[in-house]
């Protein structure tokens, strides 16, 4: 193989040299010609390809639009049917199928209303219930103890602040005489009504204080 290759090179050596020199000299003149051919071919093929792609996309869209409307209508009808069925089921659910939590809440509210029958139903809430229970548990005895203690000193009225501190009015100012533990200051109106029900108190709320007078 090496011998044949050497013979080929020797035989066409002069031709290769001459063609290389000719190509080197003619290249600056031939490059614009080749570039012009390339640009012309691209300018013709690119627009044709773009038009072809646009036509294909339009055909696909038309086919999809023809297929989509019946499916959308069918889905819309199915959704409407399911919604109407759910609404009918909600309306038709009997009382015994209600959630257990709702039943428990209703039972608890009934129990609370039974424990506090004196207050109107509109005013019944958790804070009022807690204030009423506090009065029945310890507030009644505490107010009675303070009023009797002051009555022995010849004092018939005292005030209760939001912090539960009880004071009386003297010539030198106000003097602290007792304290009411866990006093529900936000529900003083409930305590006022309960004290007045006892029959031996007159209660007046003024600003931050509740004045209690023993009759």
Whole-number pLDDT of residue 77:
58
Nearest to 117 by CA among 102, 129, 127, 134: 129
Reported as a single tens digit per residue, the pLDDT across 134-169 is 999 999 999 999 999 999 999 999 999 999 999 998
CA-nearest of 188, 167, 189 to 179 is: 167
Q: What pLDDT band is residue 192 in, cutting at 50, 70 and 90?
A: very high
CA 151 to each of CA 17, 27, 178: distance values in angstroms, whole numbers, following the listed order: 138, 129, 14
What per-residue confidence (pLDDT) applies to 203?
92
Helices (H), ranges, the chain: 2-11, 13-92, 100-115, 126-134, 140-152, 188-198
Residue 136: per-residue pLDDT: 92
Is the pLDDT at 69 greater than 70? The verdict is no
Instruction: Judge whether residue 76 has pLDDT over 60.
Output: no
Segment 130-136 shows an average pLDDT of: 92
Instruction: Return the top range by mean pLDDT from 18-27, 60-69, 100-109, 174-183.
Output: 174-183
CA 214 to CA 9: how far, in whole Å?
Answer: 137
Confidence tier at 71 by pLDDT (50, 70, 90): very low
């Amino acid at each position: 193989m090496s011998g044949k290759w050497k013979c080929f090179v020797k035989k066409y050596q002069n031709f290769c040299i001459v063609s290389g020199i000719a190509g080197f000299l003619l290249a600056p003149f031939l490059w614009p010609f080749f570039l012009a051919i390339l640009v012309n071919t691209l300018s013709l093929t690119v627009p044709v390809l773009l038009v072809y792609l646009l036509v294909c996309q339009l055909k696909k869209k038309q086919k999809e639009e023809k297929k989509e409307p019946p499916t959308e209508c069918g889905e819309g009808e199915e959704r409407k049917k399911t919604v109407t069925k759910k609404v009918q089921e909600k309306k038709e659910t009997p009382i015994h199928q209600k959630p257990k939590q709702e039943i428990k809440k209703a039972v608890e509210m009934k129990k609370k209303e039974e424990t506090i029958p004196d207050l109107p139903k509109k005013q019944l809430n958790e804070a009022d219930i807690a204030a009423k229970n506090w009065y029945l548990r310890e507030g009644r005895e505490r107010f009675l103890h303070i009023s009797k203690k002051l009555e022995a000193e010849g004092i018939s009225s005292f005030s209760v602040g939001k912090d539960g501190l009880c004071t009386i009015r003297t010539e030198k100012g106000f003097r602290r005489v007792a304290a009411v533990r866990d006093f529900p200051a936000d529900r003083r109106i409930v305590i006022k009504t309960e004290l007045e029900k006892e029959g031996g108190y007159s209660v007046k709320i003024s600003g931050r204080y509740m004045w209690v007078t023993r009759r």
